[in-house]
Amino acid sequence: MFQFITNRSFFVNLLIAIVIGLLVVFVFFQLLDRITQHGKYIKVPEVKGKSVDEARNLLEQQGFQVEVQDSIYYDSLPRLSVVKQSPVAQEMVKINRTIYLTINRAEPPLVALPNFVGQTYRSVLLQLNALGLKLGDTSQRPDFAVGSVLEQIYNGNQVKPGTKVPMGSRVSLVLGGGIKQTELPVPVLLGLTFAEAKVLLESNDLLLGAVVVDGAVADSSAAFVIRQNPPVRDEEGRPIRIRGGQLVDLWISMDRSKIDSIQRPKPVIEQKTENEY
């Protein structure tokens, strides 16, 4: 069967083998050019800002492979839109090249709120930016800690550290405004309910200090103030004055006998000077 090979000299067979080998290599490289589309390049179209479905259809129609590589979140961009593409638009690449897309998430990720209370406004602002959160409304309340955060608020409610909120949410802050220089008479809180006393303190820019509960109290807002510190007048009957932002301690009770025995002092009426008229 193989006599036609064995009957020939070694050098003739070697020459034939070399020719066949060269032919195989030539055919291989010719086919390789066709398979790899050698020398055929195409511009990558711009798909940033398009929806992921639109981008995929456009790229596949032009002969590209498409793969969603990553997702991030921007509240200012449409959801499921293309944020980044690689290779970038207008770059010349081979047909069948894979285009990697980064898309905007459909739902914002949740972010755990740190404890901002006690920190400075500038420090909290940097942390909000780093977490992808926004600063909401800021307000001031008289307090010794000037410029420090007293409360952190989300959706109108005070929130505790660790509470998870959607990225892009607005967090409002209550800042310490310092102690006011002007003085005012201590308001009469005796005989008021605890809820009424808190409203009166707030209207006078005063802060609620310690609250001492006398006896059993089921509902603190309905309990009555039976003692306050500082009092309205000193031991000699002179009005005591207080600055906005200072603390007032209260004693509250539901004991009717203690409530009925309260001697409510008359409020101090400010007298205007001639310069105020």
Could you tell me which CATH number the domain at 41-104 has? 3.30.10.20
Separation in Å, CA 22 to CA 4, 18, 35, 217: 22, 6, 20, 102
pLDDT at 54: 93
Domain with CATH 3.30.10.20 in the chain: 41-104, 110-176, 183-268
For 208-266, where are the alpha helices, taking DSSP H only?
256-260
pLDDT at 95: 78
Could you tell me which CATH number the domain at 110-176 has? 3.30.10.20
Query: What is the per-residue pLDDT across 121-151, written as a single tens digit (0 to 9) for each?
Result: 889 999 999 999 999 998 877 777 778 899 9
Phi and psi at 95, nearest 5°, equal: -65, 150
In contact, 225 and 258? CB cutoff 8 Å: no
Separation in Å, CA 53 to CA 50, 65, 91: 8, 13, 21
In contact, 176 and 150? CB cutoff 8 Å: yes
pLDDT at 274: 46
pLDDT at 43: 86
**pTM summary value:** 0.53
pLDDT at 176: 85
User: How is domain 183-268 classified at the CATH fold level?
Assistant: Trypsin Inhibitor V; Chain A (3.30.10)
Closest CA to 186 of 170, 174, 197: 197
Closest CA to 185 of 269, 276, 248, 251: 269
Helix (H, G, I), strand (E, B) or coil at 58: helix
List, for the chain, all residue ranges whose pLDDT scores fall below the cut of 70.
1-13, 26-39, 269-277
- Residues in CB range of 99: below 8 A, 6 or more apart: 44, 47, 59, 64, 65, 66, 67, 85, 86, 87
